[in-house]
Amino acid sequence: MNEDQFEGKWDRMKGKVREHWGRLTDDDVEEVQGKRQNMLAKIQEKYGDTKEAAEDKLKDFERKF
């Protein structure tokens, strides 16, 4: 999913993001503001993942969504 697609689907995805990424707080989710790069940064920060691992996890989540 590219940046524009991610941003366009953000409002529908927020609830699923909260369910799937349990370590992200409501404030974290709001800080993402529909920006894919922000989401990757939050995954890296909260889960201690490398950039590549965070990208893989986010792509897997996007496929399921």
The DSSP string of 3-31 is HHHHHHHHHHHHHHHHHH-TTS-HHHHHH
Q: What is the pTM of this model?
A: 0.91
pLDDT in the model for residue 65: 85
Distance CA 8, CA 65 (A): 13
Q: What is the CATH number of the domain that holds 48?
A: 1.10.1470.10
The total number of structural domains that make up the chain: 1
Number of residues written out for the chain:
65
Range of the domain at 16: 3-64
Taking only the tens place, the pLDDT of each residue in 13-54 is 999 999 999 999 999 999 999 999 999 999 999 999 999 999
